[in-house]
Amino acid sequence: MSTAPVPLTNNEESNDEELAGASPVAINVLADSRGAVRLRPGIVAHSSFYSTAFSTDEISGLRYTNGGKLYAFAQGAASGEMFLVGSGGAASLGSMPGLFRPSIVETEAILGITTGSYPYKVVLATDAMSPLAGGPVESTHIATIDTRLLTNNNAAYRGRIYYSQTQEGSTSYAGHEVWTGYETGEFSTSARPDPVIAIADTTSAIFAFGTSTTSTFVPDSTQDFALVGAIEIGCSARHSIVRTDTGFAWLDDRMRFVSFSGREPEVISNALSLDDITTPSDCFGYRVAEGAYDLLVWTFPTDGQTFVYSNGTWSRWYMYDTGTTGWTRFPVSSHAVRIGYGDNLVGLTDGRVMSLSRTAYSDAGTVLKGYVETGFINRGTDAMKHCKALRIALRRGQTGGTAPTLLVSWRDDLGSWSSDVRVSLGTTGDTLPVVELRSLGSYRRRQWRFTFMDTAELVLAGVSEDFDVLGV
């Protein structure tokens, strides 16, 4: 008899053939660095913010300011509306034109917002919203560095970045409404004339994302901004850019997710297939830090797909529709971190603002269902194997209340899935059970599925198999 682990995650190699051990499927789960699997954070109302729908449009932008205010942007067909969200409701600040998701930046005195048309501002001291004066160009992105505002150009001269004069302090924004003229308040960005479809700032540099190149600029005492490098990697989705600790990750011009901090770019999606994506251009992304998990999340709204990267592994997130027993799009349409608290605030497609919580085991009252499928396993030989026992290490995480549900099924050689086996999780006080299922048949190649749901915590800590090679 031999004993070997059943790998629940595997992103070290990439292939598309199931029988060759294609990477596992993970739905609505998180995997830590040691391979333990649990349900993703659920969607729940936040005690400090209004959680009833205040718009018929999706909340496509959120910004939590250094001063503790939460602003939400509801995206309509040709314009959007800005709201200030408090504990008792959401107050409209006005509307602004634009076809794109909002790009929002904060200075000491104002928020700068642009959605593909001319930028607007919200004065933080008064919450008054109006067009940003001084002649800024039509833009899809706005950034700030070296006490200036910067935008790309969505109308003409798309290979350039435009910038304002400098301004410091919380009582004046005058310099941010001075945009100097042609060749004095702009600079060319790329080594070739590909349009700059997005810009983003770090504490020390501006990144210009073109359709086939990405360039990096830093403030310079003699020419305002100086080019420090460019790479032959572009961007195919202007709102897919997610800030990391040292740089950015985004969907590149070859349908790969890449990470770049100004040195060597890294492809992080080698084990992920995006072949079924039909509309990559509407992809948007954000970063979620929840407990020990640091997640990069990307949603393709038209295709209804959400991909999540964490600890070198990928999963997909959906809502589970109990009426049709099927999957629908994960409803988060924007994200902001509550500074000082670490809370993950989210705007939803139905016009609400809620939060993500690892201790919430439902999505706004809807059951949260997750599962992980392994790749096909042949234990190093295509001879028949007999599964003598499957051992499953679990943690319930509670001593009372509703017991979580774990279902186990399997299939052999692309055959049909077996009926689900409901796993008993022990008595009420048994929070760390090891469950053993015995004599589960013979196979050449086998794939396992572990499904867990219900409003209770369950961690799948590890799975191993006892098997005999039959030699035939």
pLDDT of residue 291: 81
Q: What pLDDT band is residue 12 in, cutting at 50, 70 and 90?
A: very low
pLDDT of residue 260: 95
The region of weakest confidence among 42-51, 96-105, 382-391, 418-427 is: 418-427
pLDDT of residue 13: 44
**Is the pLDDT assigned to residue 192 strictly greater than 70?**
no
Q: What pLDDT band is residue 396 in, cutting at 50, 70 and 90?
A: confident
**Is the pLDDT assigned to residue 25 strictly greater than 90?**
no
Dihedral (Cα; 296, 302, 304, 306), 10-degree rounding: -10
Highest mean pLDDT among 30-39, 114-123, 355-364: 114-123
pLDDT of residue 31: 82
CA distance 396 to 398: 6
Q: Are 199 and 152 in contact (CB under 8 A)?
A: yes
Q: Strand, helix or coil at 42?
A: strand
In the predicted model, what is the mean pLDDT of the chain? Answer: 89
**Is the pLDDT assigned to residue 134 strictly greater than 90?**
yes
pLDDT digits (tens, 9 = 90+) for 216-254: 999 988 778 888 889 999 999 999 999 999 899 999 999
pLDDT digits (tens, 9 = 90+) for 295-332: 999 999 999 999 999 878 889 999 988 777 789 999 99
Give the chain's domains with CATH numbers: 2-39+371-469 (2.60.120), 42-364 (2.130.10.10)
**Is the pLDDT assigned to residue 181 strictly greater than 80?**
no
pLDDT of residue 15: 46
Q: How many H-runs (helices) and E-runs (strands) does the chain carry?
A: 0, 44
Backbone angles phi, psi at 157, to 5 degrees: 50, 55
pLDDT of residue 93: 98
In terms of Cβ atoms closer than 10 Å to its own Cβ (0-12, 13-18, 19+), residue 378 is: middle
**Is the pLDDT assigned to residue 459 strictly greater than 80?**
yes
* Phi/psi-derived region of residue 365, left when phi > 0, alpha when psi is between -120 and 50, beta in every other case: left
pLDDT of residue 190: 55
Q: Which DSSP state fits 105?
A: E
pLDDT digits (tens, 9 = 90+) for 260-306: 987 889 999 987 889 899 999 999 999 999 888 899 999 999 999 99
Share of the chain above pLDDT 70, in %: 90
**Is the pLDDT assigned to residue 107 strictly greater than 80?**
yes
pTM of the model: 0.93
**Is the pLDDT assigned to residue 375 strictly greater than 60?**
yes
Q: What pLDDT band is residue 22 in, cutting at 50, 70 and 90?
A: low
pLDDT of residue 221: 80
Q: How far separated are the first and last CA of the chain, in Å rounded?
A: 16
